[in-house]
Structure 1
Amino acid sequence: MADDGGGAKRLKTAEDGKDGVVTAEEAAQLRRRIAELESENEQLRRRGQGEGNHDVLPITVTVDLSRVTTGIVTHISSFLASSRGLLSLALTCKSFGWRQPVSTLNWSLVEEVSRQAVCSRATDDEMDCLPPYVRGTATWLSILHRHEHLLDFDVLLGGCIENQIGDKTAVCATGATGPNCNYSVAVSSSYVMRSGAHYAQFLITGKPYIGIVRPMPGLDVPGLDASAGDFCFIGDDHSFFPDFLAQRSDDWGDSEVHSCDFSCRDGKMNWTNWHDEIEEKDWDGMEVCQSGDTLGMLLNLDEGTLTVYKNNRRLGMMKDELSGQYCWYVNLFNDSADTVSIKRGTLPNSDGATTA
């Protein structure tokens, strides 16, 4: 997947005046017009100060937007970079947020900038995870917003876990006390990995478990209170397993590995089919992780493997025989004050993964 560290891609100026591209002449005209407006505003400011009348509203300068070409507006808008900034622009005036009858576009200027942002930033594998554009159902602005939040931990289950304030890419154990308040899970459910190779990094504190789990959008476990109680996908408590299997679909594929994770506590691998098999085992390359370590996970669905990295060093292939769809997830323990944040990362070697 696309690396966040590089920033948004920009439209370039060009001499040939192609549609959606700012020519050097257009850019020069815009700079001259900006200079004229700044000069007018300075004259008005000085006039108001000289008259000393603060009860009179200042004169408003009206800009004729018809003189500003689509290419110029698109180029400038691309520097807003985020869906939030583009939404603010759309609310500024109809010329930006509404489709204009005279326009050759099938959507507004803000929609066009959003479309270009998605297409320039998202990889093919990411595009498979995003909703398709359908007029009246999904806008390009909403698709861009989804792309910006693919790795959010948007599903929390159990009684001792919460997102860190203002950041859904990070979760922490709450430190709550009481019976059955030991472990909880967080799932990045909006990012469903279906094919290809996907790499993510997890910055850890404590001794969490980190791995993959089947997507279960309709999960509704009877008796589960998200604000209380223990919850995990792999463990001694099998009472939720039938509810997990009830969510099975053809998209899960043929593999019976429905959840698999790495233990930062002892480096072991755990997996289950939520039926009659739960396995905890040693594997070549296993290592204990400490607070402050960064754990990398590479899920390669073309090869059916899950590979683990520690601080950008490859530990090895932890599990094979994987197929179908998976999401990233973490399992936190309350007594060790676990915290985990997830982010896109750059694969340390040439395994051929998208950064996700």
Structure 2
Amino acid sequence: MVHTRVRQSKKMKSREQESPSEVSDRFQLNREAARKARGATRVRGAKGAKGGSQHHGMECACGAAKRQRVSTVESALASIDVLGHLATFLEAGELCQVRATCKALGSRDDSAFDGLSMTEEAARRIYESASDEEKAMLPRHDGEGWIELYHHLLMLRARLTFDQLLGDRVEYHEGDKAAVRAVRRSGQSSAICGNHIMRAGKHWATFAYGGGFSVGVIRPLPGWDQRTLEEFQPINSRYWDDLRRERTPRWVGDVHFCHFYRTGQCFYSNWEGHGCTASYWDGYNNYDRGVHTLGMLLDLDGGTLSVYQKGQKVGTLKDGLAGVYCWTACTACLQGYLQFGSASIERGYDVTDVQAEEYKSA
């Protein structure tokens, strides 16, 4: 502190000794330095303002370009031809998301498509472009939406899979949803092709199964795989009250399921009363119990379920089938059969019988 005061005192003393001209010169120098400093500040400010203006201009240009791209995409999607082409790459659920998230594509207001939204019109056009055979197997139900019908068309073209597992006695075999296996020696569980609903026409399936499994058809049971049931077998009457509550106008007739066993026995029911009915079918004596691969034909035009072995028809298991069905495989509960086993399903069947070939193409 002492040294600081000495230096300040010396500085003040030296300024007191300056002449008037020296004071004037020093004042001019200080004023010039201040002026230059203000000028430099203005230059920096101008440069900053110019840079900010350029940056703002770039942002505006980018925003305009983005809006132009969005406008171009929206304009393209506003074309039913473009949307129809894109829809062929989408699942039905994804098409529903498009309808829900884009007002222009999902709105029915002032529509040019007879009250349909653009997404529904796109689904309708895809269905109308399907083959005659496909449309014969998928007649439209009263009140059914076109996107729902499009979903069933996609399922008709896809490989068969057991989408629903009911009961904890069955699981997928090595992660393949087209194959299941029993995981316990006792108990009842079922696997259902719940996404593949058959409503009309002729449907073929190939089953490879062994052990304590039965195969056949059952009414659609949406949501039943979410019930976390320990056991389920449609032949068991303790489930029938709940099953009857699932009935819809699409359940036509009184054959709600029909199961075929490796023994050659066949059972069906309308889920009324206290027991199933055995079907004494023609061809029972020709059935080979040693063959573990068989074909099934559900003919909803004729209302029959038939069984095939080695490419030839063995017999008709049951008639009177009508309405909607799904393929199913269940762990059997017949006395004397172990519950271990497996079952797999595949769409179609290789028919070698000439008469069956003619029937298949009819």
Distance 2:343 2:297 in 1: 21
CA distance in 1 between partners of 2:101 and 2:109 (Å): 19
Out of 336, 342, 353, the residue aligned to residue 338 of structure 1 is 342
2:167 to 151, 154, 158: 158
Alpha-carbon separation, structure 1, partners of 2:78 and 2:241: 59
Q: CA deviation at 1:185?
A: 1.4
Q: Distance in 2 between matches of 1:164 and 1:88?
A: 33
Alignment check: 8 A CA contact 2:250 2:324 kept: no
Q: Is the 8 A contact 1:201 1:342 kept in 2?
A: yes
Q: Is the 8 A contact 1:213 1:329 kept in 2?
A: yes
| Letter paired with 2:151 | H
SS of 1:202 mapped into structure 2: strand
* Aligned position for 1:132: 143
**Per the alignment, in what secondary structure is the counterpart of residue 287 of structure 2?**
coil
| Partner amino acid, structure 2, of 1:119 | E
C-alpha separation in 1, matches of 2:124 and 2:96? 13
Structure 1 pair 71–200 and aligned structure 2 pair: CA distance change class (3 A)? same
Matched, 1:211 2:216: yes
Percent identity (aligned)? 22
* 2:188 is the counterpart of 1:183: yes
| Alpha-carbon distance, 1:199 to partner | 1.1
Rg bigger for which structure? 2
2:273 counterpart of 1:269: no
Which amino acid in the other structure matches residue 287 of structure 2? M
Partner of 2:13: none
> Following the alignment from structure 1 to structure 2, what is the Cα–Cα distance between the partners of residues 253 and 75?
34
> What is residue 228 of structure 1 aligned with on the other side?
230
Richer in helix (by share): 2
Structure 1: where are the runs of 5+ without partners? 1-55
2:86 maps to what in 1?
Answer: 77
Is 1:199 matched with 2:200?
Answer: no
Structure 1 residue 254: Cα displacement: 6.0
| CA distance in structure 2 between the aligned counterparts of 1:250 and 1:69, rounded to whole angstroms | 37
Is 1:308 matched with 2:307? yes
8 Å CA contact retained: 2:206, 2:349 = no
The SS at the match of 1:299 is strand
The one-character-per-residue Cα deviations of 1:305-334 (angstroms, maximum 9, x if unpaired) are 2212346x1323232442444523211368
Q: Distance in 2 between matches of 1:185 and 1:349?
A: 31
Q: CA deviation at 1:283?
A: 0.8
Kindly report which structure 2 residues correspond to 1:1-356, keeping only aligned pairs within 5 A, or say none.
60=66, 62=69, 64=72, 65-66=74-75, 70=79, 72-74=81-83, 76-80=85-89, 82-83=91-92, 86=95, 95=104, 97-99=105-107, 104-105=112-113, 106-121=115-130, 122-128=134-140, 132-133=143-144, 138=145, 140-149=146-155, 153-162=162-171, 170-173=178-181, 175=183, 177=184, 181-189=186-194, 193=198, 196-207=200-211, 208-214=213-219, 226-229=228-231, 231-234=232-235, 239-240=238-239, 258-263=256-261, 265-266=262-263, 268-273=264-269, 275=274, 278-279=277-278, 283-288=284-289, 293=293, 295-310=294-309, 313-325=311-323, 327=325, 328-332=327-331, 335-343=339-347, 349-352=357-360
Distance in 2 (alpha carbons) for counterparts of 1:91 and 1:160: 39
Amino acid at match of 1:316: V
TM-score w.r.t. length of structure 2: 0.56
The one-letter code matched in structure 1 to 2:124 is: R
The alignment covers a number of residue pairs equal to: 274
